[in-house]
Amino acid sequence: MSALEEMAMANDELVSRSLPVQEHMAMQQRVWRFERVGWYLLVVIVLLGLAGLFGNGPLSNAQTTSADGRLHVEYQRLSRSGTTDNLRITVRGSARKPIMLELDGSLLSKASIETIQPEPQASLSQGKAILLELGTSDDGVATLYLTLRSEYVGTLEGVVRAGPSSAVHFSTFLFP
Amino acid sequence: MDSILRAAGMYIALMLLFRIAGRRSLADLTTFDFVLLLIIGEATQQALLGDDFSFTNAMLVIATLIVLDVGLSLAKLNSKPLARLLDGRATLVVEHGRFLHHRMRRARLAEDDILESARDSQGVEKIEQIKFAIVERNGKISIIPAE
C-alpha cells in the first residue's frame, strides 16, 4: 500500500459513522489527544518526582550558611504535608563552651519537632522562639539533628540564630 | 473539614488519571490489572483518611464520594454535552470485516484483542465474520457478527 493510499484510509477512518452507533470523531480525537498528552505529562511528573520536586531528592535538598560562616543548615526546600523531614544545624563556636541557638519562624509554630538529637543541655522559650543550649566538642562544633513534621500546606519560614551576628533564613514548601 | 476536601480532591484527581489511562485500561481485568487496582486503592486510602481513623471521618469521606458521584451522574443526565465530555462515545473499530487500524492504534487496541472479544462473545472465528466491532463507553468491545 502506498503512503498516499494509507493517508486516504486514515482520513476515511476519521469520518464519523452513524451506523450502528452515532460517532463524533472530532470529539473522539480530542479524547485520544488528551490521553496522549496526559501520558507525557504523567511521565514528566514521575521524572520530576524522581528528581525530588516533591521532596527527598536533588531538587529539594538544600543548604544555607550564615554570612559569617558559623552557622550551617541543611534542610528540605520542598516537601509534603504530613511527612517527617530532617533538619541538620551545624554551629561553630569555641571549644567546650556551650552555644545558644535560637529557632524561630512559622516552621516552628506550624510544625512539630518529632525528635531532637543530641538532647540540648537546656531549652527555653523566648517569645515565640525556642532557645537551645548546645554543648560543643573539642573542635568547637555543635551539630543538632531535628526531624520535623507538619500537616500544613504551603510555605513555612524558618530562622536559626546563633548570637547576634549569625543568622540563617530558609523556607520549605509543603505539598498537600 | 479537611477530610471532605481531601475526598473531593482525590475524586477529581482519580477521575483525571483514569481519563488519561483511557477507557480500555481496566476494562478486561487480568489478574495483574486486579492487583494493580488493589495497590491503587491502598495508595488512595492512606491519603483519604490521613491519620484520623474515626468512624465520623470514614463516614464523611464516604458521604463526600457518594455526593460527588451521584451529583455528577445527575449533572450528566441534565446536560448531554457534559455526558459526552465525561463518557465519550462508542467508537467503531471493525467495519464490514475490515479493521480500522488508525482508530485501533489510537485506542491502543490490537487485532488480537478484537478477535478475542469476538470469540468470547459471539463464537466468531475470522475477521470476515464480524460486521461491526465497537469500543463501548465503558471500554468493552461489542461484536456484531455478519449475517
pLDDT per residue over A65-109, tens digit each? 988 888 999 999 999 988 888 999 999 888 888 888 889 888 888
Model confidence band, residue B21 (pLDDT cutoffs 50, 70, 90): confident
Task: Match 488528551 to its residue by C-alpha cell.
Answer: A34
Does residue A42 form part of some domain?
A: yes
Does residue A46 form part of some domain?
A: yes
pLDDT value at B27 more than 70: no
A80: which residues sit within 8 A by CB, 6+ positions away?
A54, A55, A174, A175, A176
Domain that holds residue A169: 61-175
What's the number of domains chain A is made of?
2
Min Cα–Cα distance to chain B from A34, Å: 7
* pTM of this structure: 0.78
B65 touches chain A (CB under 8 A): no
> Do B42 and B96 lie in a common domain?
no
pLDDT in tens, B92-122: 888 888 888 888 888 888 888 888 888 888 8
User: Is B89 in Cβ contact with A28 (below 8 Å)?
Assistant: yes
Write down the pLDDT at residue B1: 78
> Do A31 and A102 lie in a common domain?
no
Average pLDDT over residues A28-43: 90
Does residue A7 form part of some domain?
A: yes
Residue of A35, A54, A81 for testing the chain B interface, max B β-carbons within 10 Å: A35
Contacting residues of B for A27, CB less than 8 Å apart: 84, 88-89
ipTM of the complex: 0.80
Domain boundary among B38, B70, B87: B87
Please name the residue of chain B whose CA is at the shortest distance from the CA of residue A14: B103
A101 exposure class (CB count in 10 Å sphere: 0-12, 13-18, 19+): buried
B84 touches chain A (CB under 8 A): yes
Domain boundary among B47, B66, B87: B87
Write down the pLDDT at residue B64: 94
Report the mean per-residue pLDDT for chain A.
86
Q: In what order do the strands lie in the sheet with B98-99?
A: B98-99, B91-95, B130-135, B141-145
Residue of A12, A15, A21, A112 for testing the chain B interface, max B β-carbons within 10 Å: A21
What's at B35, amino acid-wise? V
* CA separation for the pair A100, A94 (Å, rounded): 12
A41 touches chain B (CB under 8 A): yes
Contacting residues of B for A23, CB less than 8 Å apart: 89-92
Q: Are strands A78-80 and A166-175 parallel, antiparallel or unpaired?
A: parallel
DSSP A11: H
Write down the pLDDT at residue A136: 85
A164 CB neighbour count, 10 Å cutoff:
6
A34 touches chain B (CB under 8 A): yes
B58 CB neighbour count, 10 Å cutoff:
14
Write down the pLDDT at residue B68: 95
User: Is B20 in Cβ contact with A42 (below 8 Å)?
Assistant: yes
Evaluate whether B131 touches B144 at the Cβ level (below 8 Å). Answer: yes
> Do A105 and A169 lie in a common domain?
yes
For CA atoms A44, A47, A51, A54, the dihedral sign is positive
User: Is B89 in Cβ contact with A27 (below 8 Å)?
Assistant: yes
pLDDT value at A1 more than 60: no
Min Cα–Cα distance to chain A from B74, Å: 22
> Do A44 and A67 lie in a common domain?
no
Does residue A56 form part of some domain?
A: no
pLDDT value at A13 more than 90: no
Domain that holds residue B108: 91-145
